Amino acid sequence: MKKVIIFTDGACRGNPGPGGWGALLKYSQHERTLSGSDSNTTNNRMEMMGAIEALAALRESCVIELYTDSQYLQKGITEWLPGWKKRNWIKADKKPVKNADLWQLLEIEANRHQVSWHWVKGHSGHPDNDRVDSLANKAIDDMLA
């Protein structure tokens, strides 16, 4: 299986407001960047879209090291998802899970691969995290231009 390193990020101006996401995929000596935007969204949705789109871009099952600066994304997929599913997308506080549509998409894409999820501190000078942050913000700029 191919090993792919992925960095993802999301950005939003206002919450909700215009948002963007960015992803960097690294395989061997190859790199690919992806980005997208939404005119009315939330930061969490953009964080999730970066991961969904990065995983969906891979044509075959891969071993993946995925890095995100979103604890919501990292903890959601690794810790909270099983309980949400068991309770039919209701949180422990009896309220509906926000972004259930994207959690379901993310689970489908993640299940195609062997993903290890890693959290990195955002805006801390990590070059690849800074790069995907720039991609997400440029996606917003391009949409608003």
Question: Per the residue annotation, which of 22, 38, 50, 69 is the catalytic one?
Answer: 69
Question: Per the residue annotation, which of 30, 60, 93, 123 is the catalytic one?
Answer: 123
Active site residue 142: no
Question: Per the residue annotation, which of 10, 20, 50, 76 is the catalytic one?
Answer: 10
Active site residue 65: no
Active site residue 31: no
Calculate the alpha carbon distances from 113 to 1, 19, 25, 41 in Å. 10, 27, 14, 27
Scan for tokens 């000596």, then name that residue: 29
Instruction: State how far the Cα of 64 lies from the Cα of 111, in Å rounded to an integer.
Output: 11
Calculate the alpha carbon distances from 66 to 5, 16, 19, 72, 89 in Å. 6, 25, 21, 14, 24
Question: Per the residue annotation, which of 9, 19, 20, 76 is the catalytic one?
Answer: 9
Active site residue 101: no
Q: Give me the residues paired with residue 131 across strands.
A: none
Question: Per the residue annotation, which of 19, 22, 38, 47 is the catalytic one?
Answer: 47
3-class SS of residue 54: helix
Question: Per the residue annotation, which of 22, 76, 113, 133 is the catalytic one?
Answer: 133
Active site residue 128: no
Q: Enumerate the active-site residues.
A: 9-10, 47, 69, 123, 133
